[in-house]
Structure formats: C-alpha cells, structure tokens
Structure 1
Amino acid sequence: MEIIKLSEPYQSSQLPKEPSALALGFFDGVHLGHQKVIKTAKKIARERGLKLAVMTFDRQPKLMYQPHPKPALYLTLLARKLELFEQLGADIAYVVTFDEHLASMGPQEFVDKYMVGLSAQVVVAGQDYTYGKKELANMETLPSFAKGRFDIVAVDHLVLAASTSKVGSTAIRAYLNQGQVDQANELLGYPFQTKGLVVHGFARGRTIGFPTINLEIDPSQHLPAPGVYATQVELLGQTYLGMASVGYNETFGDNFDLTVEIYLLDFAKDVYGQEATVAWYHWLRPMVKFASVAELIDQLKADEAAVRQYFAQVKK
C-alpha cells in the first residue's frame, strides 16, 4: 500500500494519476461500519478496474473548531489505522493534515482538490460524512459540488442484529470507558489493540511472584477503563497470554499515575525497550485496594486461572 501525506497547499506531482474508487472518512477505530464503507469502495474498484484509495486526516477535524480543545483520545493511532487499511485491501492511503488551511476551505474547493484532484471516479462515504459545515457540505449536497465528474455512493449506517443503534466510534468509546471490551470488540470486528514500549516500573510484581511488563502508552491512545483484563500480547515475534492491569496501584499507596502492567503467562525474559502489541479480549474484574499483599497474591492467582480458562474456552 502506498502512503501519501498531503498538506496545504499540496503539489499535484505528489499524486498518482491512476483513477480510483475513493473511500472517505476519519475512520477512528476502523470498526465494522467503516469496514462496510471501505469494502463497498473495494468492490466497486475491482469491478471497474480502479485503484482502491482511502483518505483520512492526521487528527480529529473537530479539534480545529474548538477554542480550547481537550487532548484527543483515539481508538486507533495513525500507524494502526494504516495497518487496517492495508489489511482491507487499500492500494493507496492519503493522510491529509487537517490544519487551519483545511478548516477554512469551502466545500467546492475541498471537492475539487480532495476528490477530483485525487483522480476519484467514484467517491464512497458513510451517509453522515461531511466536508465542511454539515448543513451545507453533506452527502445530499455532494452531487451539486461534484458536477458530474465522479459517481457518489452513500453507505447506510451499519446496525448489528443484537442492537438498535448504529455501529460507531462513540459507542465503542463508551464501552471501553466501562471496561466492556467484549462489546467494543463486537463493534470493531476484531480485538481492540494498543501498542506500548516496555519500560522500567517499580518491580513490585517480581517480589510477589508475578513479574509484569510495564508499558509506556502514547497519551493520545484510548485505553479501557481501570480493571483487570484477559489479553494476548505479541512480543519478540511470539504471542503470549496476558493478565493486564489498568490502574493506579492503590494497594501500594495513593497518587500514582495510571499504569498499564501485564503479567505474561509462561514467560520469563528481559524485554525492556521492546514494543509490545496488546489485544484486549475480556474484562475480569475491577481494580481493588487490598488490605494486604497476601490478599493481592491470592487474587492474582485467581486472575491467572481465569485468564487460562477464558482462552481455553475461546480456543474450543
């Protein structure tokens, strides 16, 4: 997959000339609804002999319109998003810098530069996609800006059989904020994933027989709520079962920062400085402040058994 980064004003020499079916969206999470958009574009691309192109932005566009924006939390950081685009069959991924130049751009100019300019013969997006003020620049008004230069396909919201609401990033974040990774994964269509660098912690786990890897996570990465989870961790080219803790280490005192610590089952290696990929599968329990270290050890033993049991059932 070719990755092309564009900033205003971009040069036309940066762009491939082959016609494409272009899927548009911010695609945070690349969940089942987003996959429906991209797969629709892929089907059209293959039928018409076009390249499959996907366009996203380098940051959440709404941040540019907020006077005092809070730091954004993303379900998928850009590198992970691009991995998922490639897995879905994208030939080209456009990453557009969403800055003040783009924020002030009118809908006609946006269509001319970022749809026609990207050699789109077909533009595919969700039915609520906007490219400016939503009352003016939406999928219903797009034909007036397209002026017959490309075809337009608006993809309906995806609603799962077990739900009455659409599959969306907002619902996934809400599930993660409640620790409900199982439900979040149903909407994503794959296990929620984060990456982090293995760093030095307090090494308390080693003293009680449960040595953990401590992960340094990008501050813009959304994390599940504090709790203990069954995970799978890819490290050094191997995958291990993991018992992950997201919390503040209340048993050992107050005022600690939020940490992600993982006890890897059947693992004993020095991996400081290595990158670990964590797939979050199942919530086990909330965080608890134990009265003693002995109580903590007993609970950790129960947690380890629960992780093994969970994945044994999954394997069946």
Structure 2
Amino acid sequence: MKLLFVADPLATFKTHKDSTFAMMREAARRGHELLACESAQLHWRQGGRVSARLLRLTLTGRSGYGVDDWYTAEALGETALADVDAVVMRKDPPFDSEYFYATHLLGRAEAEGARVFNSPRALRDHPEKLAILEFPQFIAPTLVTRSADDVRAFHAEQRDIILKPLDGMGGMGIFRVRDDGLNLGAILESLNRDGAETIMVQRYLPEIADGDKRILVIDGQPVPFCLARIPQGGEVRGNLAAGGKGVARPISARDREIAEAIGPVLAARGLLLVGLDVIGSCLTEINVTSPTCFQEITDQTGHDVAAQFITALEAACASH
C-alpha cells in the first residue's frame, strides 16, 4: 500500500521515542510505500482534487537519540490524496485554526475517495479536553465555564482543584489550587482572561502520584499495556513533555472497563487510534489528534504497538 503520513517536519522527529516513526518503520518492514507531507502543503484548486507535494521516504535503518539521517527522500511532486491507499493524519496539536482548516481539506479529500485516519470530521467533533463530557460516568467532578464565580464556587465545594485551558497540550497551562485558595485569582486572570476564555476545572486526583496513564485504543480495542506518566520533583503534571517519568504496566480492570466502553463508540465514528488518559479510576482526557507512547510501551513490555496499529490500518483500508 501507499501510505501518506501528514506530519510535522521530518527534521523534528525524535526517532528514539516518536510514535509516527514507529508506525513508518513497521509499515516499511511490511513492504508498504512511505509517503510524507506537512499539513501546510495540502491544497485544493477549482477543477482539481485535494493534493500535496509528496516525498517518498526510504528508511536508512538508523534511529535513536540524536539521529537525524533516519531517512532519504525523493520528491514526487503533486499527488492527489485520493490516489494513495491511506492518509494517516499525525500532525501534532495544538488544534488551532490551521489544524481546523487542514481537517476540512482532508474531509474534501475523503469525498474525492481518500481514506483518512483518523477521520477529519471525528477530529473536529472530539476536542481532546471536552470529549470526556460524553462519558460522565467515568470522569471526576468537572466544570467547564467562562465564569470566574463558577470556578470559585467549584473550589469552595471541592477544596482541591486542577484548572486547565481547553487548547493546552503536553501539560501546558495546568494549575493546582489547594484548600487555601492561594493564587486562584491570579490563575483565573491568566487562564480565564476576565471571562473571555472557557476553561476546564476538575477535582484534584491524588492518584496522580501513581501516574497519569495513557491507554491506547486501536480500532476499538485497548492495547494491553499502558504508560503511567509519573510526576517528578514536586510537579502535579505527569506529562512526559513536563518531565514526567514513563513506566509501562499492564492495564487494570478499571482501565479495560473504560476503554472497552468508549473504544467501540469512537471507532465507529472513524477514530482508528485513540489515547485515553486515566488518573486512578477517572478518565481525564481523550486524545485523538496524534496519540503517542508507542515506543515507550514496546520498549518496556515487548508488546509491538506499531504492529497492532498497522494491522488495524491494513484491515480498515481493506474494508473500504
């Protein structure tokens, strides 16, 4: 198959941990042709189809920390997305206006016959913070609001809370306010901007000390191991980007319960790959744009997450 990866610039890949690279390596091992472009290169012109200037990649077999010669590339010129076998959308967040526009171009490509994973419409319909609202039975006490008064009332009720922006990634902009309410006003000024921006507030979950678990769900089925991202050095954030330590472990019965309830629902909407974030027994986030942690789980457990994903991708393409 010809597999097109719409991704961040190849020069930015950290191949020792990059999940998109793991996908590419497994696809190449199976004999699939690797193509790549950036979302900025997608375009459409009247009378034509959604196209991009593609690169054909050949992997060199080199990878690891600091390795930048992991591929060679051949420029193919203009290619319609409908002329490849699968388009894998792996552009990292933030989900800003340009990401939004890219999903519309990818949606147009779908209408022209392209197979896109994850589905562009599903990417738009499942903002990563707000998607949990569909599954309230699995989440901690949560408030979404633009009102500072609502936040203060929620804090008075819960006493220990986490505040986060809706468009954050990698743990950016996450604050904890304890029972004493110290700095709540300043944090609200920063995040809420006098009611101009909607934020999410949740009860603080002390189980974060044991890790913010990333549970990968592929075609509705949970990967049997998760990556617990454990905060370090007094941090409240377990995100790897914020210095968290990643420890792979088998998923718990509660993790499986959550994944098996949510996974098939999202898979039916075109979300082939989902990353669920769970702290303790509570779902905190549903990641759909570019879920990661493939290599960390594989390296520590031997379970080949990339192989599971490429198998699911092959099956999805065959069923179209």
Q: TM-score range by the shorter chain?
A: under 0.3
TM-score (norm 1): 0.26
Q: Which has the larger radius of gyration?
A: 1
When the two structures are superposed, what TM-score results if normalisation uses the length of structure 2? Answer: 0.26
